[in-house]
């Protein structure tokens, strides 16, 4: 396994030395790769929610290689995101995805005071979205009662802010949101809803639409991955048993639904005749499973590690592009089941990010954007 991970990582570094230079030359924050070029997000300018993954990917590559191009690119994009903190009306609940892999990792690695300030600024914006009836409000566009399972991944920002300031109010917000999520998002069989619409005055759950999945009541695989990894993280930050139990329930459900070839359907309840794959879900779930495996008994740990490895090896053998046709690696990523956003079965930056993070976990070099700052 180690040899395989080392070999794949070496191929990634070789390809990404060129891909990082290309991003610098194009002066873009890559969102997806296509026809030998990077393409930036057509939405929300530099406030687009995926824009922190580039810096995170660069740090993951810089730490074990010490190649300057990766550090320079991580810092170039961090600077662009710093300006977005003042563009308040474009920011959203996904500030964790933006600032943990960029400013957060920069601070973790170097103690940089500006990076720390930006991390706390982002955490304050996220805490400001909290509705005391029990949830963090998602997106903008005047949808005050909407919350989404993806937000579980952003909670690290709040846990880290409490860790850094010694003030528990940030972590308290995170716990309340996580507890609401156990109640309203996670179903009995371990599958998750993507969206829950709450009454913003009472906190009563009113509706559970399908969101980026196939339909209401279905099971959008990336949402399952956000839940799996997100509850694992809430456990790592709090050591509250209920978060570990929830993460395991989602993990068992996820593993039972991995395709026979090791790839991941976009929705675990999509019509069988349609091939619609989302490899981002598989890569992210693999990261969650590798962390979860460290927290459970030996038998469960083995099954989580084996599932993670099976998915990662399938991504490598079936869906990795090592040519120059695309500057990104992982293909067959799908933004959402119906309204395709970046597209269907394409390369999207956070697919590459989680694939690389998983390999770094296997090689012991993960820079750990989502983890407690001082380690577990
Ligand atoms: N956080 C939005 C998505 O996963 O597409």
Q: What is the mean pLDDT of each run of 10 residues along the chain (376 residues)?
A: 94 98 98 95 93 98 98 98 90 96 98 98 98 96 92 98 98 98 98 98 97 96 98 98 98 98 98 94 98 98 98 98 97 90 89 98 98 86
10's enclosing H/E stretch is: helix 2-26
pTM value is 0.97
Query: What's the pLDDT score for residue 2?
Result: 80
Give pairs for 330-333: CB < 8 Å, separation 24+: 330/279, 330/280, 330/283, 330/355, 331/279, 332/263, 332/277, 332/278, 332/279, 333/32, 333/278, 333/279, 333/280
Query: What's the pLDDT score for residue 115?
Result: 98
Domain membership flag for residue 135: yes
Q: Give the residue carrying structure tokens 């191009």.
A: 69
Take atom 1 of ligand 1 and give the residue whose Cα is closest: 150
Query: What's the pLDDT score for residue 339?
Result: 74
Residues making up the chain, counted from first to last: 376
- Same domain, yes or no: 61 and 132: no
| Pocket lined around ligand 1, Cβ cut-off 6 Å | 49, 94, 150, 212, 222
Catalytic residue selected from 118, 150, 352, 366: 150
For residues 251 and 243, the answer to whether their CB atoms sit within 8 Å is: no
Compute the distance from residue 114 Cα to the ligand 1 centre, in Å.
28
Classify 320 as helix, strand or coil.
strand
- With the CA atoms of 217, 223, 224 and 225 taken in that order, what torsion angle do they form, in degrees rounded to the nearest 10? 170
Tokens of 299: 């038998």
Is 94 in the active site? yes
Catalytic residue selected from 6, 44, 94, 278: 94
Query: What's the pLDDT score for residue 88?
Result: 81
Domain membership flag for residue 15: yes
Q: Nearest Cα to 333, choosing from 311, 317, 352?
A: 352
Compute the distance from residue 335 Cα to the ligand 1 centre, in Å.
7
Domain boundary among 90, 119, 148: 119
Query: What's the pLDDT score for residue 342?
Result: 75
- Same domain, yes or no: 184 and 209: yes
Residue-number span of the structural domain to which 134 is assigned: 128-257+280-311
Q: Give the residue carrying structure tokens 């962390």.
A: 291
Which atom of ligand 1 lies closest to the CA of 336? 5
Which atom of ligand 1 lies closest to the CA of 97? 1
- Same domain, yes or no: 186 and 294: yes
Compute the distance from residue 267 Cα to the ligand 1 centre, in Å.
14
- Same domain, yes or no: 111 and 171: no
Query: What's the pLDDT score for residue 344?
Result: 86
Which atom of ligand 1 lies closest to the CA of 150? 1
Domain membership flag for residue 192: yes
Query: What's the pLDDT score for residue 166?
Result: 97
Domain boundary among 311, 332, 353: 311
Domain membership flag for residue 373: no
């Amino acid at each position: 396994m180690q040899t395989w991970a080392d070999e794949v990582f070496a191929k990634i570094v070789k390809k990404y030395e060129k891909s990082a230079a290309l991003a610098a030359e194009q002066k873009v924050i890559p969102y997806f790769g296509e026809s030998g070029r990077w393409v930036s997000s057509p939405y929300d300018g530099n406030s687009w929610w995926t824009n922190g993954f580039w810096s995170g990917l660069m740090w993951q590559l810089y730490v074990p290689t010490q190649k300057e191009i990766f550090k320079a690119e991580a810092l170039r994009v961090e600077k662009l995101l710093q300006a977005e903190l003042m563009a308040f009306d474009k920011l959203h609940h996904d500030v964790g995805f933006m600032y943990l892999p960029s400013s957060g990792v920069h601070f973790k690695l170097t103690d940089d005071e500006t990076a720390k300030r930006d991390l706390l600024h982002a955490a304050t914006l996220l805490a400001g979205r909290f509705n005391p009836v029990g949830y963090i409000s998602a997106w903008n566009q005047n949808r005050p009662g909407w919350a989404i399972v993806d937000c579980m991944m952003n909670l690290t920002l709040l846990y880290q802010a409490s860790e850094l300031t010694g003030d528990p109010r940030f972590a308290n917000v995170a716990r309340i949101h996580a507890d609401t999520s156990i109640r309203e998002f996670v179903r009995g069989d371990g599958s998750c809803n993507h969206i829950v619409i709450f009454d913003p005055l009472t906190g009563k759950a009113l509706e559970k639409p399908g969101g980026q999945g196939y339909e209401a009541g279905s099971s959008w695989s990336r949402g399952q991955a956000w839940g799996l990894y997100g509850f694992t993280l809430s456990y790592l930050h709090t050591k509250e048993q209920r978060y570990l139990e929830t993460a395991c329930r989602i993990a068992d459900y996820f593993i039972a639904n991995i395709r026979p070839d090791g790839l991941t359907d976009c929705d675990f309840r999509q019509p069988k005749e349609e091939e619609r794959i989302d490899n981002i879900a598989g890569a992210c779930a693999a990261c969650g499973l590798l962390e979860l495996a460290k927290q459970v008994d030996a038998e469960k740990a083995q099954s989580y590690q084996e599932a993670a490895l099976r998915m990662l090896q399938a991504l490598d053998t079936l869906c990795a592009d090592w040519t120059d046709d695309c500057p990104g690696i992982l293909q067959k990523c799908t933004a959402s089941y119906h309204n395709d956003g970046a597209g269907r079965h394409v390369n999207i930056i956070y697919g590459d990010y989680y694939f690389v993070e998983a390999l770094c976990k296997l090689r012991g070099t993960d820079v750990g954007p989502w983890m407690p700052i001082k380690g577990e």
